[in-house]
Structure formats: C-alpha cells, structure tokens
Structure 1
Amino acid sequence: MKSQAALHVYTQERGAELGDLFGIFFEDLNHAADGGLYAELIQNRSFEFDPIDRAEYHALTAWEKVERGSGKAEITVEDSHPLNTRNRNYVAIDILSAGDGVGIMNLGFNSGIPVKEGENYLFSVYARRDASFDEPVRVTIESVDGTVYAEAAIMVHSSEWVKYETTFTANATDSSSRLVITATGKGKLYLDMVSLFPEKTFLNRPNGMREDIAALLADLKPKFMRFPGGCLIHDGSLNPDDRNSMYRWKNTLGDIAQRPARRNNWSYNQTLGLGYYEYFLFCEDIGAKPIPILPGGYDPHHKRIVPLDELGPWIDDALDLIEFANGDPSTKWGALRAELGHPEPFGLEYIGIGNEEVGAPFFERYPYFHRAIKEKYPDIKVINSSGPFAAGGEYDRGWKSAKENNSDLVDEHYYQSPEWFLANYNRYDEFKADEPKVFLGEYASWGNTYYNALVEAAFMTGLEKNAHAVGLACYAPMLCNVDYVNWKPDMIWFNNHEVFGTANYYVQKLFMNHQGDHLLKIEANGLEKKQEIPAKPINGAFALETDRCAIQFWDIKLVNNDTGETKDFNGLTAELSDTEEDRINGTSKRSLELGETDWENYTFHIKAKKISGPKGFNLIFGKSDDHNQFIWEVGGWQNQDSLIASRVNGRTSCLTQSISSMEQGIDYELALEVSGRKIRSFINNELFNETEDKLPVIEPLYYSASLDRSTGDVIVKVVNVQENSVNAQVVLEDYQKASLTAEVFEMSGHALDDENSFESPERVLPKQKEFSLEGCSFSYDFPKHSVTVFRVK
C-alpha cells in the first residue's frame, strides 16, 4: 500500500539566511519614468526634445499652437536668452493679433492629461515677456473640445525669467485633457519648464511619484530596488556634458530646471526629473534598499572606451555616490544630500559596476573600480557583471572576473521560455556558498499569462532553496506604458490614468510578502515520480536567414556522424541579399529553406562570405515550424555574437553565447555538430559554442520553507505545475505548539492563458483564507496549476 505523500518542514533546522533576496528593478524603458512613475503630466516640458532622442522628435513635440477668435501668433523655439545653459531651448509666442488669446497647448502622454474631479494640480512655469505686463496670461486645463475644467491667471511682470506657480482644482474627470496657455496684448511671451503635477503624489512628495503605480510597488514590500538600468546606463558618449552621454548620476541632482535633457537609449527623451535623490527617497519610502548601477567606462553598444589612465573621474563618480548616500553632512557630497533635504544617510549597502557587460574592455576596467571602492568603503558590497546570457564565453568571463576580484555578487540576466525555466529549476544547486553570490538582476519568462507566472513561481522556490548562493533576484522589466512599448513582458502595465499588476506581479508579491529570514529544511516523501519528457533528438529542417545583409554561401552539406553518409543542400551554393537597395527594388531575399534530416548525430558544414551589411546571418536547424526551431546566430547583435538559441512555441531561449563577428569580404568555414540534444559550433575549426538543450523535468511539487524572525511565523511555499491536483500532508516537525493557525494565500483555478488587463485587472489574483488545527500537521489538496503559500502563526 502506497504511503501518504508528505512535506516535512523541520522548524528547528535553519539553513541559509535569505537576506535581501527578492526585490525590484527599475529602468526607464517603456516610458517607465517620464509618462509613468514620475508624476509630471507635461510631455516635453522644457522644449528640449530633439531628433537625437528619436528621429521624428523636434523642440515642439507634444505641443500645438493655439489661436482663438481672430488671434494670430507665430510660435518659435529660441535659445539666445536661456533660462540656464544646460537646457537652452524655450518657446517664444509672438502675438501678431491678440484676438481671444493665442498661445500653446500640451497634449500630455497617452490620450492626454488626466484629471479627476475635485483634485488639485500644481502648475509652474518660467516666463518673461517684452510688453503688455498688465495683461494676464491665462492657464487652463481643457477637454479636447475646449470645455474648461480648471483655470488660473498669472501676471508675467518682468522681461527676465521668473518662476510662476498656481494651483488648479479640476471640476470634471477626463483622461484626455490638455494644458493650454494663452496670452493677449502684444509683443512676445517666452515660456520654459512648463510643469503640471497632481498635488496627490505618493506620500505627497514634491516632484514625486504617481500615486497608483507607486502604491503597487510599495505593496510588493521589496527588499531592494535596483536602478537606473539596464542598458541605459552604459549606452552613450563618454562626455558627461553630451546630450547622448552615458547615464551620469551627478547630472540628475538639484533643481529640475537645471538638469540636462538626455537621449534615452530606448529612443525617447529622458528629463532626469526622476533622478538619484528621488530614487533614494523612493527606496526609503517603500522600505527597499537602494542598489545603484554605474557605468564602468565602456559602451559595448558602440565600442566607446575610457582609456585606463583616464578612469579616475569615473571611479570618483562611484566613490562620490557612496559619499552622497552615506556621508556625514560635513563631507562634500553628504552636505549636498543634506542641502537637498535629507541630512540622515540613506544607508547604501550595495553598488553595481556595469550592466550586461560583454567584451574584454569592461573586465579590464572593473578591477580599478572594485579596488578603489573596497579600499575606501570595505563594507560596501560590489556587484560585477556576467552579460545578458545564461551561459557561454562572456558569462564565464564575468564569473572569472568576479572570482579573481572577490566581487560580492555577480549580476546575471536572462529572458527565456517557460520550458527553459522548468528545465533549469535546479540551476544553482551546485553553486558554492564561499564564492561570489548570484544577483539575478533581470529575469522573466516570455509572457504575462498565468502559465508564465506559475513557472516563475516554481523557479523562485529554487532560488530560495539556493539562498546560500543566490543573494538577490528581481523580475524585469518592472513597468510599461501600454502606448510606448519597447519591451515585453512587463510586471506592471499602465496608461495615463489606470494601472494593473500582471499574474507575474502577484507571484512576485507572494514571494516578497512572505520571504522569511532563514531557510528551513524541507523534505518530501511519497510523491509521484518526476515527469520526464522523452529526450527527442534535435532534427528537422534547415534554413538560412539574414537581415539587411548580403551573404554568399557554398559547400553546404550535411554529414551523418554515425555512418559517414553525406547530403548536399541546394546544389552546394546559395545567396541571400536584403540590402536597402534590394528592399527599394523589391528584390530582397532574406531566407532560404535548405532541406531536412531525421538523423540524430550529424554535422552541418557551410562556407560563407559577407558581401555587405551590419551583421551576419542565422542558420536555422532542428526546425519543425516557425515557432519551434533552433538558431545559430553568426555575427548576431551588432555583429558581436555567436549564439545558439532554441525556440519553443514561439518563445526563444539563448542557450549559450560567445563573442564573434563576421567581417566583410572574408571566407568563413562553419560547422554545426549535433548529437542528440548536445550542440557544438565551430568557426574556422575553432570551437565557439558548446551547449545542451535540456528538456523540462516536471517535479511533482516545487516547494520551499522559511522562518520569519520577527514574528516567528513558519512560511511554506508550494507550486504545482501539473495538470492534476496533489494531496499531501504538511508536517511541521519539532513544532513547539499543540495547535496551529495558518493563513493561506493561493493562486489557482485559472486557465494557463489567462492574463490581467485594464478591463479585468484582477482576473488572476491570490485568494486568502485562514484555518486552525489541533496538532502540527494537516492534509492539503494542492490544486492543479497552483501557487500556495502557508503562513503558520
């Protein structure tokens, strides 16, 4: 007779400390700051938008001319008499005929400027004029059809710049309104830094955060927040005064009117209104430890490199940042923090150097930062980088650097298919406690469905159980404005007046709200066996693809490594051409099907030469359809990668990556060796990639247990990804009480493709219940496709 399945939680056997394990990651992509968390309602408030930010941008983007009655005006952008030298642009309204008022209108973000009936809005502007000082300037919030929701008048009384402020109260609710500024009289009216904030920001902070988005983040109770990126920290010029400079934290402090506009590498403008002081304040407000990430003197996107003998100012930036966060007000940067309104230190514990760095130049420079920080601030934990891939040459280079330099943590990033996460649930089992810890600084499975969240929950139990090796982890990206999407999936989606958390958000919330402080030993017995998918060999069709390149191929053949049999493909030669000229002429040929095989152990041989283009090509293999195949990228991402990826149900996972480029006019001899599910690639007889595509092994249950030190609560997390429910006895071994009371938080009963939305923001949501029992064990039926958290009081 089969024994009852049971999970035994040994309540007195403590394991590793969980520390600051689960937190959040903020990067200003998807308009996460401007038009998002940062509560400013005006888009392009200082008229600094520029084609360098985005090709179609100009200084009057998001602004329109207003002429009422018989009014006529000319609107220009000038820079000869600026408010300050860092933001030189301002608008000039030349009143040719006053009529009923002439001026400008701001369109806001998304559908417009959102206002709510009865709520106050804070307006400010820098203005000057050269005549008609006794004529009021009218400021209104209006509907699209001109209905006035709020209005005020300001008297611009000087020919020099003066800041004017007023408060509106909206008399209606509308998410598509406009801010309109009109003048009468004659002469010119000049405006700069036009700002409109809701009076209600998160915790009512000035220059603060949008209340509804910030509240969702606070509700997570994250242990830390990583900021400000992400790729935006290192993609830019080396000169901090350049419009397209790397992200330099000192540019983000002080008066918002003095902060220079910045090209955001996600192709829009970044005002820097949400700057380092605001980041630190927000971390403090939500109880999260700040983790700032700084550039390491290398831009891998454009190969900009700070010479080693010029690293001093970059290292000083890191040291000065620590002083800004933690220094006494008697220090230079501590004094600035106090002057900004925060004399107490922020208690910075971590600092990261570099983000997803690839290439030798970064790892040559990292030790200089590490040594300087540790020499001056030995208690600060320094985070190294291991690139944007879960395995391969650059990943290994990052870990090698971390071990050689005694980095405290290594920043790992990966976005993969749900199947990859299940196959790699035990990824960190063999990592050592006495080596640098993992900072899983960006991760997500491709999608915001309930299935994605379920799989991520299973993976997160593995992160918890390996807390000896995994120090920090945060889902990414965190925020996305639905009308400005750079990347998806994302944890929280919003427009200008609504916000919702995804299924992924609610899994993250469960794990953050119920993390615990110490692991507890947990064991299972009597469960069903693991579900193993039969290890099907990688075979199927082959194809070639390219993008904006012209490539010649020859000597294309397939060799059976067991029998020596050879197949020739496409008459041994092929050519792809997808140049701009091809696209204009309609002669583009981007892909070519070659043939297929059912062999299990083979080598694909091909020779190639690039005629023109910015990258290389892809070899598709093991293809059953467009959504299920393998890819070898030769000269991938900016012509830097040799990368092997698998695509399952349309979702791609990078299995391994190494640096490699494809130069124009050079003959390359390439070979792809496949044996079962093991893959190796060779370029000119040199091994570049070696990997195995592991298939998921479905555990009967995924589980972890921890102790909350402050409350004494025992926390048990159980994830069931199977199609059937699992009944098990939960046994609290060595529990010192005769009865127990437990809170249960459970996500279940959802279809795997269910998603939250603006229309149904709580379709996928945990449910909460309580129960009391005599004794220290209880039977529980874990529903199919469920995430369950017990908090035993």
Structure 2
Amino acid sequence: MNKITVTTNKKASMSDFYGIFFEDINHAADGGLYGEMIRNRAFEFSPMDNPSYQALTAWKRIEEGGASVSSFVSNKSPFSKRNPNYLILEINKTGTRAGIKNLGYNSGIAVKENESYNFSCYAKSDKPCEITVSIDNAYGEVITEKSLNITSNEWTEYSFTLTSPVDDFSAVLAVTSKQECKFCLDFVSLFPVKTYKNRKNGMRNDIAEMLADLKPKFMRFPGGCLIHDGTLNSDDRNSMYRWKNTIGAVTDRPSRRNNWRYNQSLGLGYFEYFQFCEDIGAKPLPVLPAGYNPHMEQAVPLDEMQEWIDDALDLIEFANGNADTKWGKIRCDMGHAEPFNLEYLAVGNEEVGQGFWDRYDLFHKAIKEKYPQIKIINSAGPFPQGGEFERGWNNAKKNGSDLVDEHYYTSPEWMLANCHRYDNMPSDGPKVFLGEYASWGNTYYNALIEAAYMTGLENNAHAIGLVCYAPLLCNVDYINWQPDMIWFDNHRVYGSANYYVQKMFMNCTGNNLLDVKHDGFDKPITLGSDKISGNIEIEADRCSAEFYDIKITDITTGNVKTYDNLSFNNGGKAVIDSIDSNHYKVESTAKRTAGDKGFRLFFGKSDDKNLIQWFIGGWQNQDTEVNAQVNGRGSCLDHNIFSVMTGQEYKLCLEVNGRNITTYINGKTANTAIDKQPVMEELYYTASSDDNNIYIKAVNVRDTEITSEICVEGVNGINANITELSGNSLNDMNDFDNPKKVSPKTSALTAVSNTFEYTFPPQSVTIFTVQK
C-alpha cells in the first residue's frame, strides 16, 4: 500500500507564505471593495478615463409633472482645486418633482431593510434653498428621505443618516427641491454605516469579510499594470500611480484615469490600504512605479530620478515613522498614531528592458542605505521564462534583492507539466515572490489543478517566500479580465472554486515546511504526444506583409517542400501544410509593408484552440514569444524583446525537435522553449506545522480513488479535522444562484495510533489538520 510519512524535520520557513493581491481592475475599488455607493460623486468623470464618460455620467435629471431643470458642470469657483468640477442645478419649474438623481453601480444603489447609510455633500447657494435628499426605488417612489436647508453662498458640508425600511437593489439617490431655486453640489456621497470594522471611508462589509476569511499573511497593492501605465508628471490625470496623491482629505485626492478604462476616485488610497491590511491581519506590501513605462516607452531621465526615489523613502517614513518625522506626522494626523510596520516594498510591476533595470538599481541602493531592514522586491516581467525573465533574476542577484516578483497566467496543463518548476532552485539567493498567477478559468478543474500546483509551491518553500493568486475581485458588470477569485455585484458576492482552494490552503499553512517521506506510489502518467505535429500556418498580425522562400524540411526523413509566396493586405492568414514528424524546420522570409505589429507562425495545430504560436513583433510590436494553447488557454513558453520594422526583411526559422522548440531571426536564436507534456502524479502532497497543528495537504487529480496509509511522527494518536473538496464535475462553477456549489466539507478523524488509512476521492483536495 502507498504510505506517506510526515516527519518532524523542518525544511524551510513559511511564515508569510500566502497572501492576496489587490489591483483596481474590474472595478475592484470604486463600485467594489470601497464602500462608496455613489458613482461619479464629484462630477470628475472624463473622456480621458473612457470615451463614453462625461462629467455627468451616472447622473440624470428628474423632471416630472411638467418640471423643468437645468444642470451643468462648472469649475469656476470649486470647493477643491484638485477636483475642480461641481454641479450647478437650477429648478426652473417645480412641477410634480424636480432635481437630479445618481444611478449608482450595476442595477443601482443597493439598500437593505433596517440598514442605515451616511449621506454627505458640499453645497452652496446665493439664496436660501430647501432641498430633499431621498433614496428612491426604480419607479421614482421615495423609500426614505430627509431635508436640508442650504443657507450659505460658501461651500458648506452637510451630512445625515438615512435608514431604509425595505430591501431594494435598484434604487437611486435623488436630490430634489419643491421651490424654484439654484444651488451647487459637490462630493455627493452615500456610505453604509456598517462598513468593515465600521471604518469611516471604509470597505464594503461582505467583500471585506470574504478577504478576511482567507486569513492572508500579506496584501500586495494597488497593482498591477496601473502602477506604471501613465505619464511621468504626477499632476497629470493619466499619470503613473503616485501614492502621495492618495492620502489626506478625500476631497483633495485628484481623480485619475485608471488604465483599465474607467475612473479611479482614489477614495481608497494608501492610508486605507494600510489600515485594511491591519484590519485583516495582513502585512502591507505596496508596489511603486520605477519611473519607467513600458506601455508608452517613457522613462524619467536617470539624473532626474531623485523625486521618485524620495517617494519610496517617504512611503517607508509614512508607514513606519514617528510623529516627529514629516511623513509619520501626516499618518498620525490622519488618525493612526501607531506605525503600520511596513516590512516589504516592491519596485516595479512586470517591467522589462534595460530602462527598468537601470532605475531599479538606484531605488535599491537608496532604500537599503537608509532602511536596510526593508525587504525589497525586484521584477522578472510578465512571463515565466525567457530572456527578460533571466535578466530580471540576474539583476536581482546583482543587487541582492530579497525577492523577485514572478507572474504567469497559464493553462491547467502547463501547471501539471511544471509542478516541480522550483525543485532545483537554490535557497541562498533571492526568493521567489509569485505575485500573480492563475490558470485560465474558474471551473472546478482549474481549482483542482491549481491545488496540485500549490503543493509544489509549498514543497519548495526553501526558494519561494510569498505567493498570491490574481486577480482578486471582479464586478460582474464591469469585467476587464477573467478569471477572478471573487465575483460580486452591488449587493451579492461569491467565491469561485479557485477561492475555496485558496482559502483551504491559506487557512491551513503552518510556519514551517515539514519533510515528508513516501513509498509505494505509481509512476506518474504522462499525457499527450512526445512530438508536436499538425498544421503549419502563417499570419500577418495587424499589418500588411509579404512572405516568400517558404520551406518546410522534415529533418527525420530529409524531405524538403517549398511553397508559393504569400501576400496579405491589412492582416490575413493561410495554411501552409501539415506535418507529422518528430524533427522539422519551417523557414520563410517575411517583410512588413504597413501596419504596427508583425507576424505569427502557428504550428502543431489540431484546431483553433489547440496549437502553438510564435509571435514575431507581438504585444505592441515589442516581443518574440512562443505560446502554447490547450483548449483555448495559453501559456508562454519563452519570451524576448523584439520589434519588426516596416520594409525590412526577416529570415525566420522555426525548429521543432520532439517537444523542444527553437526559433531564429536572421540567423540568431530568438527563442528556446520546451512544451512539456502534462504529468498526472498518483498523489500530490505537502505538510507544514505551527505551534498547535500539523497540516497535511493531498490532491488527487486522477479520476479514480486512491488509498494511502498516513503516518504522522511526533503525535500520540490522531485527533484531526478534515477539510475536503470533492464530488464535483470538472466543469462545475459557482455563481450567484449556487454560490457554494464548489466548496469544501468538514469532518473529524480520530485514531489510537499515529498512523491511519485514508481513501482520497477521485479529483479531490483534502487537508488534515492534526492536533499536536
């Protein structure tokens, strides 16, 4: 019989191993975790944020029973110079009802029976004016209301609480008047009284509780690509994310363009991020821009980098400094006298190219000189291997970075093939921070394979320091990216299958990895073919191009075939041939005649969802990449920087030998990759411990049950809880109607001795929490 023996030998520390990554993507902040219920509260939306936006987006006039209302946005005498827009509303004729309403997010503003909401606004009027603030249903009927008198021609804050007598998830906030008058409004706000931990300007309670339930050891924030995707001037609406713009009074935080094509109010700023980390027991892990934007190919001159370096040093002081320091005092004045105890700081997010490395060096030196205790995180780019990935690691080793941020989104099959990715990494260099990873999908199958992969991460805690799934949150009506861990609308939230796997692992991870011995397991099952065969296709990718001297050589047989020249105008694709060989070459000369990208070569193609592709001048014409697709889900196999120039000839050569792939451009190696075959081990397992418990995790990805004997050294008898995820179809997914369709069940286990037998169900995730 199979046997797993969990020893008392500690192999590596896992003190901060699992955390979460918050990025303002998919309306994760405004319209999501951030508790504000009013959309466009300060009338600052702009076409720069999204072409469909304007200053009155989400606002609509109320003109009932013959009423006449004029509304326009001005910036002539603003309350806030950093948010200069405000509304001028004139009731020309009262009719039955006259005013303006805010439509909120999703289906509207969601209110709940007997729940209270804090309303506030800034207003002024040249003449006294009585207005009514109400929460209305979708038919214009008042749910709850209160009146206020605007008596000053100077900006004045007004606030009160509204309590809803009913549930309504499609409500609006209305501001009306029964008299003909003219007044100005700004920063119209509605917050639940019950935010998470009852924080003012706080978090939506149900989403925050789901995050807290994960028990993360750290939280990475605020991104993501929004960190560096912007201009170099901190005063620009579309600047890179600058943390100093996000603190202080909410009204003084400038509205900005979010790179995911919506508006970012910055109501959820660095102070709130730090405070939320404290509230959920997670260490803060902020990410700062390095003055280099790979999207726009902009960079701060090296001799002008001091402002950006000071931002990093000042952030550490803001988080950890005493009240007698400049930035520590600002934190204290915001209401948090105790330091936030910042330990980690990341510089850059997914940047590649020498421009980033030159600037990272400056940050690293300055931070370590002033704050040697801070653990600094370098970047390895957006792909799991390739030239820039290696450059990132080499730069980290040169500088002595504490961790290196790796990112990858892959097929589940890639994870099965790479479960032992980190087995041979040394323990004496920078550690891996797996800052973004996921398989493409929210099915039970995705979650199951991620669980198997996570056992490999835990078993390599000697080389891996921190791990967090991404993205974290998604508003179902504002999707920028899929998959996501947690889904929500304006009043509901549910965790995906992936969420429950993450929760299981994060709730049951000790401080130390334990050595596990095994005996009797079957050899792993290797899936798929040992060669890459199928159709060969050529594409002009968003460009006009010519291809000639096209040739395919079957190196195994020596057979050579040549093909007619191809010409494409403004894109196009053609099948060249099909090949079934273990070793072959595909060659062509290519020239772009117009356009802004380059070429693609498809090979090993069985259908449109199963293939391998070589990008030449891909992603904004900046790279050469080999990418494998399995069931429509892609995985990068190798990546390097490369751009295609119009009018220049490129001699392209692809060589496939077994599952080894080499590409050449003009005779020079461009990519070297291995498309590893997926492997299904009989059982994936790992163990860790803390002061009270031993945690044993086991994942069975096969479609048959597996029985094993389990021995736990150092305990007298077994008293354990079992948390198990099983019994689901591989395509099962959670949704609002079935939020826990894929979720674990718990049971108890006792045994007189320290050894017991257990049968792991087919395609299951099982965790034993054994009391010491």
Alignment TM class, shorter chain as reference: over 0.9
- The range that moved more, 541-550 or 627-636, is 541-550
Instruction: Provide Cα deviations, 1:218-271, integer angstroms capped at 9, x if missing partner.
Output: 000000000000000000000000000000000000111111001000000000
Q: For residues 585-596 of structure 1, what are the structure 2 equivalents within 5 Å?
A: 590-596=572-578
Give the aligned partner of residue 305 of structure 1: 299
Instruction: Provide Cα deviations, 1:43-79, integer angstroms capped at 9, x if missing partner.
Output: 1111111111111111111111111322212111111
Unaligned runs of 5+ in 2: none
The one-letter code of the counterpart of 1:7 is: I
The one-letter code of the counterpart of 1:673 is: E
Matched, 1:768 2:764: no
CA distance in 1, matches of 2:531, 2:624: 22
CA distance in 2, matches of 1:180, 1:546: 53
Give the aligned partner of residue 581 of structure 1: none
Give the aligned partner of residue 410 of structure 2: 416
CA distance in 2, matches of 1:699, 1:83: 64
Is the partner of 1:22 in helix, strand or coil? coil
Instruction: Provide Cα deviations, 1:384-430, integer angstroms capped at 9, x if missing partner.
Output: 00000000011001001000000000000000000000100000001
Matched, 1:791 2:766: no
CA distance in 2, matches of 1:337, 1:681: 53
Give 1:548 shift.
Answer: 3.1
TM-score in terms of structure 2 length: 0.99
Instruction: Provide Cα deviations, 1:72-100, integer angstroms capped at 9, x if missing partner.
Output: 12111111111111111111112222334
Match of 2:695 among 709, 715, 732: 715
Instruction: Provide Cα deviations, 1:598-640, integer angstroms capped at 9, x if missing partner.
Output: 1221111111111222211211111000010001011111110
Give 1:547 shift.
Answer: 4.3
State the Cα RMSD in Å.
1.1
CA distance in 1, matches of 2:443, 2:614: 28
CA distance in 2, matches of 1:272, 1:483: 21
CA distance in 1, matches of 2:578, 2:79: 67
Identity of aligned residues (%): 54
Give the aligned partner of residue 707 of structure 2: 727
Match of 2:734 among 746, 756, 760: 756
Contact residue 63 and residue 69 of structure 2 kept, 8 A: yes
Give the aligned partner of residue 756 of structure 2: 778
The one-letter code of the counterpart of 1:109 is: Y
Give 1:590 shift.
Answer: 2.8
Match of 1:265 among 259, 263, 278: 259
Matched, 1:505 2:483: no
The one-letter code of the counterpart of 1:759 is: D
Match of 2:542 among 548, 551, 558: 548
Is the partner of 1:647 in helix, strand or coil? strand
Is the partner of 2:311 in helix, strand or coil? helix
Give 1:699 shift.
Answer: 1.0
CA distance in 2, matches of 1:551, 1:646: 24
Match of 1:521 among 512, 515, 519: 515
CA distance in 2, matches of 1:590, 1:552: 11
Give the aligned partner of residue 577 of structure 1: 569
Is the partner of 2:303 in helix, strand or coil? helix
Match of 2:384 among 382, 390, 413: 390
Match of 2:184 among 186, 190, 194: 190
- The range that moved more, 593-602 or 219-228, is 593-602
Match of 1:380 among 374, 377, 380: 374
The one-letter code of the counterpart of 1:731 is: C
Give the aligned partner of residue 151 of structure 2: 157
The one-letter code of the counterpart of 1:577 is: N
Is the partner of 1:516 in helix, strand or coil? coil
What is the count of residue pairs matched by the alignment?
771
Give the aligned partner of residue 630 of structure 2: 648
Give the aligned partner of residue 488 of structure 2: 494
The one-letter code of the counterpart of 1:668 is: Y
Contact residue 86 and residue 260 of structure 1 kept, 8 A: yes
CA distance in 2, matches of 1:752, 1:632: 30
Give the aligned partner of residue 351 of structure 1: 345
CA distance in 1, matches of 2:159, 2:257: 28
Give 1:534 shift.
Answer: 5.3
Is the partner of 2:138 in helix, strand or coil? coil
Matched, 1:17 2:13: yes
Give the aligned partner of residue 605 of structure 1: 587
CA distance in 1, matches of 2:165, 2:309: 52
CA distance in 2, matches of 1:220, 1:20: 13
CA distance in 2, matches of 1:591, 1:206: 56
CA distance in 2, matches of 1:198, 1:746: 36
Contact residue 542 and residue 598 of structure 2 kept, 8 A: no
CA distance in 1, matches of 2:568, 2:449: 39
Give the aligned partner of residue 680 of structure 1: 662
CA distance in 2, matches of 1:405, 1:417: 33
Is the partner of 1:251 in helix, strand or coil? helix
Give the aligned partner of residue 236 of structure 2: 242
Give the aligned partner of residue 37 of structure 2: 41
Match of 1:633 among 615, 625, 636: 615
Matched, 1:214 2:208: yes
CA distance in 2, matches of 1:450, 1:280: 33
The one-letter code of the counterpart of 1:508 is: Q
Give 1:557 shift.
Answer: 1.3
Give the aligned partner of residue 689 of structure 1: 671
Give 1:186 shift.
Answer: 3.6
Matched, 1:118 2:114: yes
CA distance in 1, matches of 2:604, 2:751: 54
Is the partner of 1:475 in helix, strand or coil? coil
Contact residue 541 and residue 600 of structure 2 kept, 8 A: no
Contact residue 514 and residue 688 of structure 2 kept, 8 A: yes
Give 1:736 shift.
Answer: 4.1
CA distance in 2, matches of 1:441, 1:669: 37
Contact residue 614 and residue 626 of structure 2 kept, 8 A: yes
CA distance in 2, matches of 1:760, 1:344: 43
Give 1:577 shift.
Answer: 2.5
Instruction: Provide Cα deviations, 1:582-606, integer angstroms capped at 9, x if missing partner.
Output: xxxxxxx532222211122111111
Is the partner of 1:35 in helix, strand or coil? helix
CA distance in 2, matches of 1:214, 1:565: 63
TM-score in terms of structure 1 length: 0.96
Contact residue 353 and residue 385 of structure 1 kept, 8 A: yes
CA distance in 2, matches of 1:263, 1:590: 34
Is the partner of 1:179 in helix, strand or coil? strand
Give the aligned partner of residue 721 of structure 2: 743
The one-letter code of the counterpart of 1:174 is: D
Give 1:161 shift.
Answer: 0.8
The one-letter code of the counterpart of 1:749 is: G
Contact residue 664 and residue 670 of structure 2 kept, 8 A: yes
Give 1:14 shift.
Answer: 1.2
Matched, 1:256 2:256: no
CA distance in 2, matches of 1:105, 1:280: 33
CA distance in 2, matches of 1:442, 1:748: 26
Instruction: Provide Cα deviations, 1:149-180, integer angstroms capped at 9, x if missing partner.
Output: 11011111111111111110112111111111
Give the aligned partner of residue 195 of structure 2: 201
Give the aligned partner of residue 582 of structure 1: none
Contact residue 130 and residue 187 of structure 1 kept, 8 A: no
Give the aligned partner of residue 93 of structure 2: 97
CA distance in 1, matches of 2:758, 2:284: 39
CA distance in 2, matches of 1:436, 1:750: 39
Give 1:187 shift.
Answer: 4.3
| Pair 1:32–1:68, CA change in 2 (3 A) | same
Contact residue 445 and residue 730 of structure 2 kept, 8 A: yes
CA distance in 2, matches of 1:212, 1:506: 16
CA distance in 2, matches of 1:472, 1:50: 38
Match of 2:4 among 1, 4, 7: 7
The one-letter code of the counterpart of 2:566 is: A
CA distance in 2, matches of 1:197, 1:614: 46
Unaligned runs of 5+ in 1: 579-588
Contact residue 548 and residue 577 of structure 1 kept, 8 A: no
> Where does structure 1 differ by over 6 angstroms across 4 or more consecutive aligned residues?
none
CA distance in 2, matches of 1:163, 1:543: 65
CA distance in 1, matches of 2:303, 2:178: 59
Contact residue 601 and residue 674 of structure 1 kept, 8 A: yes
